[in-house]
Amino acid sequence: MNVTCNTTFLNFDPKLPNITIFATGGTIAGNGSSNTNYTSGVFSVEDLIYAVPSIKNISNVVGDQVSNVGSEDVNSTILLDLSKKINQCVCEDDAMSGAVVTHGTDTLEETAFFLDATLNCSKPVVIVGAMRPASAISADGPYNLIESVTVAVSKDARNRGALVVMNDRIVSTYYVTKTNANTMDTFKAVEMGNVGQVIGGTPYFFFPPTLPTGRSTYNISEINSIPRVDILYSYQDMQNETIYDTVNRGAKGIVIAGAGAGGVSTRFNDAIEDVVNNYSIPVVQSFRTGSGEVPYAEIASTSSTHIASGYLNPQKSRILLGLLLAEKKSLTEIAGAFAKGTAG
């Protein structure tokens, strides 16, 4: 894919750092009166930037409209496009200090995880959304946006992987998840905590730069599609047909949102082993609990390659498995990539 970088600054002061704000849509660009009554992805990237005039005191800004959709409609085509753009237009451009991505909150953690895994960047890349539409009373988007810009231009934010900034908190994209469907205080890394906070317009990091233990990065410059990976939710009376249907419909990888630490019934476990051994389709067992860990020992079997998701929830496991399949990794290599993030 040929990447075209927008180079038009909406404001310019030679003393200030330069960033690009990539807009994808979501509630932060939504029009309506409340978080239950609005349309996602209405306002343009310029609208979002001009709504926060003080941005021009902090940074010179380029706006790039990548898409303008609710995040339920963000797909791997948009992800590949966005990642290639950030790599080329920000990471590889010495004139640029960092990037901000505005995004719907519902699948924000998936995009954030994908970017973190595919950017070749020591510069800050910050993903931000809002729980209230831009036109609502006390919209949180403008404040989240200015806080994101302060993090994107901060030298202290470098070498930490991509970051999510929402509601004054700075959180690692590898671990962050949306924990509440409605409230503003929703993005958390439940066990790991925040890496920092934005206080009075200044980012403060609790620790020097560090990266998540399980994190790996992948080069997607030559990749134009991501193989299909489906997620199956585990529950009492789960039918084995669900996994065979998924295989027959073309899934190249499967993630199970297991009960507890990856749990499935004895009968379904037999189906997993059949799919792994006889169809060579990797199956990753994650958790449906919202937080926790699936250790390898919990699901290990002598008769097949069971893959434990470690600290990755089902939606992040799906992104990682898709990237590994896109890179044509073997079952053993896939298991090894997930093992980096498990307690063993």
Which parts are annotated binding residues for substrate?
71, 105-106
Among 63, 70, 98, 314, binds ligand DAS (CB under 6 A): 70
Q: Is 105 a catalytic residue?
A: yes
Tokens coding 211: 């990266």
Q: Which is nearer to ligand DAS, 41 or 258 (CB)?
A: 41
Closer residue to ligand DAS (CB): 116 or 140: 140
Residues 273-312 close enough to bind ligand DAS by CB under 6 A: none
- The answer to whether residue 186 forms part of the interface with ligand DAS (CB under 6 A) is no
Q: Give least dist CB 263 to ligand DAS, A.
A: 29
The tokens describing 35, both together, are 């978080």
| 212: nearest Cα among 106, 112, 314 | 112
Is the Cβ of residue 59 or residue 71 nearer to ligand DAS in the bound state? 71
| CA 327 to chain CA centroid, nearest Å | 19
* Residue 183 designated active-site: no
Cα 198-203-209 angle, rounded to 5 deg? 125
> Residues annotated as binding site?
71, 105-106
Of 154, 152, 164, 153, give the one whose Cα is nearest residue 195: 164
Q: Which CB sits closer to ligand DAS, 21 or 131?
A: 131
Over its C-alpha atoms, the chain yields an Rg (Å, rounded) of 20
Q: Which of 18, 20, 40, 144 binds ligand DAS (CB under 6 A)?
A: 40
What is the DSSP-derived secondary structure letter of residue 230? E
How many chain residues are in contact with ligand DAS, going by CB under 6 A?
Answer: 10
* 212 backbone φψ class: left, alpha, beta (φ>0; ψ -120 to 50): beta
Least Cβ distance, residue 70 to ligand DAS (angstroms)? 4
Work out how close the CB of 28 gets to ligand DAS at its nearest, in angstroms, rounded to a whole number. Answer: 6
Q: For residue 20, report the phi and psi dihedrals to the nearest 5 degrees.
A: -115, 135
Nearer to ligand DAS, 27 or 304 (CB): 27
**235 φ/ψ angles, rounded to the nearest 5 degrees:** -160, 165
Minimal CA–CA distance to 116: which of 131, 101, 96? 101
Catalytic residue among 20, 24, 27, 150: 27
What's the min distance (Å) between Cβ of 291 and ligand DAS? 20
Q: How far is CA 116 from CA 110, 134, 137, 219, in A?
A: 10, 27, 33, 11
Q: What mask of x and - would describe binding to ligand DAS in positions 84 to 113, judged by CB under 6 A?
A: --------------------xxx-------
Question: Considering the complex, what minimum distance in angstroms separates the CB of residue 290 from ligand DAS?
Answer: 18
Q: Which member of 24, 105, 173, 177 is catalytic?
A: 105
Binding string, residues 126-165; x marks residues near ligand DAS by CB under 6 A: ---x-x----------------------------------
Q: What is the DSSP string of 90-108?
A: IIT-TT--EEEEE--STTH
What burial letters (b/e) apply to 86-123, b meaning 16+ CB within 10 Å?
A: bbebbbeeeebbbbbbbbbbbbbbbbbbbbbbbbebeb
**Scanning residues 20 to 39, which ones bind ligand DAS (CB under 6 A)?**
26-27
Rounded distance between C-alpha atoms, residue 69 and residue 87, angstroms: 22
Shortest-Cβ-distance residue relative to ligand DAS: 104
Instruction: CB nearer to ligand DAS: give 11 or 31.
Output: 31
Residues taking part in catalysis: 27, 105
Contacting residues toward ligand DAS, per CB under 6 A = 26-27, 40, 70-71, 104-106, 129, 131
